[in-house]
Amino acid sequence: MCGIVGFVGRQQAAPVLLQGLSKLEYRGYDSAGIAVFTDKNNITVEKCKGRLKVLEEKVDGGKSIKGEMGIGHTRWATHGEPNYINSHPHVGGTNGSDNVAVVHNGIIENYIDLKKYLQTRGYNFVSDTDTEVVAQLVDYFYQSTNGNSMEAVKKTINKLEGSFALGIMFNNDPEHIYAVRKDSPLIVGLAKIGNFIASDIPAILPYTRNVYLLEDKEIVVLTKDNVAIYNIDGEPIKKEVYIVDWDVSSAEKGGYEHFMFKEIMEQPDAITETISPRIKNGQIVLDDVKLTKEDINNLDKIYIVACGSAYHVGVVGKYIIESQARIPVEVDLASEFRYRSPIITKNTLVVIISQSGETLDTLCALREAKRLGARILSIVNVVGSSIARESDDILYTWAGPEIAVATTKAYSTQLSVVYLLSQYLAQQKGEMTQKDTDELLQNLQLIPAKIQDMLKNCTDIQYLASKFYNAKDIFFIGRSLDYAIGLEGSLKLKEISYIHSEAYAAGELKHGPISLIEDGTLVIALATQPRLYDKLLSNIKEVKARGAVVLAIVQEGMDTASEVADYVITIPKCDPLLAASLAVVPLQLFGYYVAAARGCDVDKPRNLAKSVTVE
């Protein structure tokens, strides 16, 4: 969600901050601001509601604020409406003095109690945010410790409940930026021009590949020549430098109009990068997974826990794992998992799926599962992320950076890892012969080429998008794996085009949803599973009889679909268990083209954020 950048170094800070914030726009935001310690020896704050370009114009690209140290922020509103006053940075101090500037990502759960306490100490509040409470609290402890910046930060951290990543500057401390995180992402960048803090790597990638990955409640003190890290007791900590192994071009559009389209087109390479190193001599090699054959045979249940598109990967995973490995699987929304008293034993495996590895609901679910004694296996894209660090076993998806808010290649690579995990479990349990494994792995390795062929000609999908971009409601139907694919197709469409869409299990139509079908309603029917094909054709006839226009997605060779559907998109013939990897591609493209035709901000849809780091 909110994006943070901080810089102290040997060049003007404002342009560096603005550039860094531009690399974090994908996180979703409604306002932006910077605070710079200026050449006049004070902190100057400039902020505004709206897009970053409004702020850039306001400060003339950073030229109007001179100074070599500053913090910046893009805000996604949680407390208080999006406006100038609620924008970050926030300042703290009594009697109109601005002694402290703070930027914050996360949610302070006890901010109301802290606010009441500070009001009794003479602090006045102007915003509706929880972040202003942090700024005022830092100032309160700064004053009570006779101007000791480090003590003020430590005391503040100990009072805060909730999640936070903080960047802090003091008006009487012109050389230091202080930073700390708890349950919200924050990294440190080490560069020749100076040192950085940031919510994510793309913000600092133009300047350095060398970063520190912070643990909870580690306090960072930055100067232009040095980075010092301390624990909550103020004791120095030594950190290993993590070297970022992807380059700036990976996080740029590369000539495409939108990041989303670029990332759709990158899926064949991303899937290849993810699966190829894990298939060696016909065997599945899961690098950082230490589950033994005995562990697997003792499993009583698997929970797959995730949010959004990652949850939809989990739904596919349930069908695949139960079919292949014959282990009971439950799929849970991370935001609900820890509130329903899940039944977990020492023989329960919890599979956590998250692109960023920082999704707070998912991280909290992981911790609850771990507290209850489960073994944790995570599927994440970001190396060294919080979820990765707190898991027993890790399977990385090597998708590279994904900038568009609506996930595409992260979904596809997560799905590929689930296929590998499922086959690995099945083989270890003796549910699949080597011959069966060989055949499935060969088919899996063909998936990238088949997607590549599908992406060479998108004109039919673009044409269909041009016909239906003004639709009011669109429904997706399918059975078994096709229902799981429909969930993701519906989400892609609604989140970027703002068209109301829903996915239903086709067999449930007559239990209520069919009442929503009117003349001209578009129904996208997924029929990629041969054993359920005839049943799906019957469902198509049901909605056609009530006036629906039907777009069917089928495998090559399923020719009879054209006799009942108005439009048909075919995907290459494949093993039915792998159909989700192919069928999702035309749905991604359809959503993309519809949103583009409607003039929507495809990469940064309203009200959404790439990494949801608040509950």
Q: Which residues partner with 306 through β-bridges?
A: 333
Spatial CA neighbour of 377 closest among 295, 267, 437: 295
> Residues 2, 364, 458, 600: which is the catalytic one?
2
SS3 string of 71-96?
Answer: EEEEECCCCCCCCCCCCCCEEECCCC
Q: Which residues contact 479 (CB under 8 A, 6 or more apart)?
A: 505, 506, 507, 529, 532, 535, 536, 539
What is the per-residue DSSP string for 372-388?
A: TT-EEEEEESSTT-HHH
- Nearest-CA neighbor of 68 among 168, 193, 220, 228? 193
Q: Which of 96, 100, 174 is nearest to 132 (CA)?
A: 100
Query: What angle do the packed helices 409-429 and 308-324 form, to 10 degrees?
Result: 20
Between the alpha carbon of residue 396 and those of residues 377, 378, 424, the distances in Å are: 11, 8, 16
Active site residue 346: no
How would DSSP label each residue in 129-178? -SHHHHHHHHHHHHHHTTS-HHHHHHHHHHH--EEEEEEEEETTEEEEEE
Q: Is 2 a catalytic residue?
A: yes
Report the alpha-carbon distance of residue 9 to residue 222 in Å, rounded: 9
Closest to 183 measured CA to CA, from 199, 201, 165, 156: 165
Strands (E), 375-481: 375-380, 393-396, 473-478
The count of other CB atoms within 10 Å of the CB of residue 297 is: 13
How far apart are the C-alpha atoms of 274 and 417, rounded to whole Å? 7
Q: What does the alpha-carbon distance between residue 189 and residue 36 come to, in Å, rounded to a whole number? A: 18
Q: Are 18 and 58 in contact (CB under 8 A)?
A: no
Helix (H/G/I), strand (E/B), else coil: 99: coil
The residues facing 120 across adjacent strands are none
**301 phi and psi, to 5 degrees?**
-165, 155
Between the CA of residue 573 and those of 9, 324, 367, 487, 581, what are the distances in Å? 56, 20, 41, 22, 12
| Residue 232 CA: distances (Å) to CA of 80, 147, 157, 227 | 30, 19, 8, 16
Residues in the chain: 615
Q: Which residues are catalytic?
A: 2, 610
